[in-house]
Amino acid sequence: MLVTKQPVLRRFWYPVIEMKQLHQSPKSFELLGEPIVLWLKRDGQPVAVQDRCCHRSAKLSGGKIIDDNIRCPYHGWTFNDCGKCVHVPQLGDNPIPSSYQVPGYKCIERYGYAWVCLGEPLVDIPQIPEASDPDFRMIHEFNEPWKVAGLRVMENELDLAHPTFVHTTTFGSGDHPIPDVMEVNETEWGLVLEATLGVVNPPLQQQNLKMENDKTTRLLTMDWFMPFTCKLRIAYPNGLIQIIVNTTTPINDSTSQIVQFCLRNDTEADVPAKDVIAFDRAVTLEDKAILETTDYDVPLNLSLEQHMMTDKPGMLMRRKLATLLKEHGEVEQTKGS
C-alpha cells in the first residue's frame, strides 16, 4: 500500500509538530505528500493550510504571522486560518477575488502536539486517558523522520517474536522467543492485544524500574488505533506502569515521522526523564535499524508475505486496512499498480 495514493488516509488525524516549536515562527511539514504550514493564532490555537501560495506557488512558511494570519514572503498576499486571502497589498481597496484561496485543514492541539486532518475526519484523535490523569507524568521522547512505512512500525509494536532477535542489548530474552500468553481482539477502529512476555533487564533498566531483578515479566496491553497510532501499556510486578504512545505520521510513501511520548505513574525524583528516554532511545534504535531495511510498500494482500502465529496482530491490521479501503471504494495502490 502506498499511503499517499489512498485518499481515505487523509481522513485521520496525525500529530505533526510539537506545540512548543510553533512559538517562534511558522513551520512547514509534509503530510501524506502534501506541503502544509502551521502557525499559532493569538489565542494559542494551531492552524494549518497548504504551504503553497495560490499566486506564484511560493512557500508561505517563509512568511510572517500578522495578527492571526500568514503573509506570503513573495508579494505579501495574506491568508487567514481557513486559507482565504484577506489582504492583497497591490489591490488597494478593490475586492479580493474569491479564487484567491489556499486549502485549509483541520488542526487542533492534543498531547503537546498540533494534530492535522487533511479531510473530513472519520474518527477522533486516539483517547489516552492517562494523559490527563494526575497520577501519571508525560515525557516527550522522540519526534523524528524514519525511512519506513507507518504500518511496518505498527506491526512491529505488536510483534512479540522480534524482541529476542532485535532487542538484544535492551530487553529481549533468548529464553522467551514467543509470549507466554497472547490474545488479540478487534475494536471498531483497531485492535487490543493482551500478552505476557518474559524479558531481561539490563542495569539502566533495573535502575529505571527500581528493581534489582535482571529478569522479569511484562504484562502488556497494546491498543492499535487505525491507521498509525499504538498505545503500549507495560505493567511491571512492582506496580510501575509505563505507557508508550507512538504515532508514525505519514510524510510520504517511504518516510514517517516517529512521534513518541510516554506516561509513567512515578515521579522525576524516582527516575529522571532523561534516563527513561535513554533506555527507550536504545530500544527504538534497535527497531529503527531493522525497520529501515523493510519495504515501504507493505502489501495488504496476505498472500504476498509469509506469516507465523505471532503475526496475528499484523495480519489483522492488514485485513482491517483492506476493509477500510474497500468500504471507501478504493483499490490498494502499490509500486506495481
The amino acid that residue 230 corresponds to is C
CA triplet 254, 171, 283: central angle to 5 degrees? 30
From the list Fe ion, ligand FES, none, partner contacted by residue 140 (C-beta under 5 to 8 A by kind)? none
Does 66 bind ligand FES (CB under 6 A)? Our answer is: no
Position of cell 505498527? 154
Q: Which of 181, 232, 238 shows the shortest CA–CA distance to 211? A: 238
Position of cell 530474552? 173
The amino acid that residue 110 corresponds to is R
CA triplet 125, 128, 134: central angle to 5 degrees? 140
Q: How far is the CB of 57 from ligand FES (least distance, A)?
A: 6
Name which position in 56, 106, 307, 326 contacts ligand FES (CB under 6 A). Answer: 56
Selected range binding ligand FES among 48-56, 150-158, 200-208, 222-230, rule: CB under 6 A: 48-56
Nearer to ligand FES, 73 or 202 (CB): 73
Check whether the bond before 15 is cis (ω within 30° of 0): no
Does 87 bind ligand FES (CB under 6 A)? Our answer is: no
Name which position in 3, 53, 300, 324 contacts ligand FES (CB under 6 A). Answer: 53
Does 118 bind ligand FES (CB under 6 A)? Our answer is: no
- Give the side-chain half-sphere CA count within 13 A for 70: 34
Rounded Cα gap, residues 86 and 100, in angstroms: 9
Selected range binding ligand FES among 74-82, 165-173, 267-275, 302-310, rule: CB under 6 A: 74-82
Q: How far is the CB of 83 from ligand FES (least distance, A)?
A: 13
From the list Fe ion, ligand FES, none, partner contacted by residue 326 (C-beta under 5 to 8 A by kind)? none
Say how far residue 56 (Cα) sits from the centre of its chain.
32
Name which position in 130, 287, 311, 332 contacts Fe ion (CB under 5 A). Answer: 287
Determine how many CB atoms are found less than 10 A away from the CB of residue 178: 14
Q: Are 31 and 250 in contact (CB under 8 A)?
A: yes
Selected range binding ligand FES among 6-14, 52-60, 129-137, 240-248, rule: CB under 6 A: 52-60
Does 77 bind ligand FES (CB under 6 A)? Our answer is: yes
Residues of the shown chain interacting with ligand FES in the complex, contacts defined by CB under 6 A: 53, 55-56, 58, 72, 74-75, 77
